[in-house]
């Protein structure tokens, strides 16, 4: 899909903060025992974030839902590794890692992100995966069916393409 619009990065960061808040609220309500503690941090080169952690819950032993918005100069190492011509960058995102108390429930990781270089270079990205301690084939199939349904709402080619990328990655 070719996107012919560009949102302001500040708008994206506000929306990502809302997503973090919605996820934390939903997980706290679901867990019923623990709530998230917030740890705000700053990056000396520019930006910062809000790391939220829930511990010792009914469902989750530990869960983290993190928001970050960082910016600043691109280092020489970044320029070489990514062939950037720009002098600065902007990035924002939400990252989630949840470790359930039940060893039969998989650990989940998910993230969404936005990255921008000055000018016309920008992109959205993200991913999701489950790491089971004990594999349950029915649960794995259900997980992939739900991901496929979500992708199909936008474009039927997304799920097979993204699944191939993930399979190659792992």
Q: How many CA atoms lie within 13 A of 161 on its CB side?
A: 7
> Catalytic annotation on 4?
no
Going by C-beta distance under 8 Å and a sequence separation of 6 or more, which residues neighbour residue 55?
Answer: 34, 61, 62, 63
Q: What is the DSSP string of 9-22?
A: HHHHHHHHHHHHHH
Residue 120 DSSP label: S
- Single out the catalytic residue among 4, 99, 109, 144: 109
3-class SS at 4?
coil
Residue with tokens 């902007």: 90
Active site residues: 109
């Amino acid at each position: 899909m070719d996107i012919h619009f560009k949102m302001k990065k500040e708008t994206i960061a506000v929306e990502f903060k809302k997503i973090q808040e919605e996820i934390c609220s939903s997980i706290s309500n679901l867990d019923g025992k623990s709530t998230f503690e917030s740890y705000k941090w700053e990056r000396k080169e520019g930006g910062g974030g809000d790391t939220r952690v829930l511990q010792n819950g009914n469902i989750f032993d530990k869960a983290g839902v993190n928001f970050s918005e960082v910016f600043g100069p691109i280092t020489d190492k970044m320029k070489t590794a990514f062939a950037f011509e720009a002098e600065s960058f902007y990035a924002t995102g939400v990252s989630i890692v949840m470790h359930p108390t039940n060893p039969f429930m998989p650990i989940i990781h998910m993230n969404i992100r936005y990255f921008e270089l000055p000018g016309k270079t920008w992109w959205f990205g993200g991913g999701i995966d489950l790491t089971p301690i004990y594999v349950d084939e029915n649960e794995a199939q259900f997980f992939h069916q739900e991901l496929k349904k979500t992708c199909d709402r936008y474009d039927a080619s997304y799920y097979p393409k993204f699944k191939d990328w993930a399979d190659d990655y792992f």
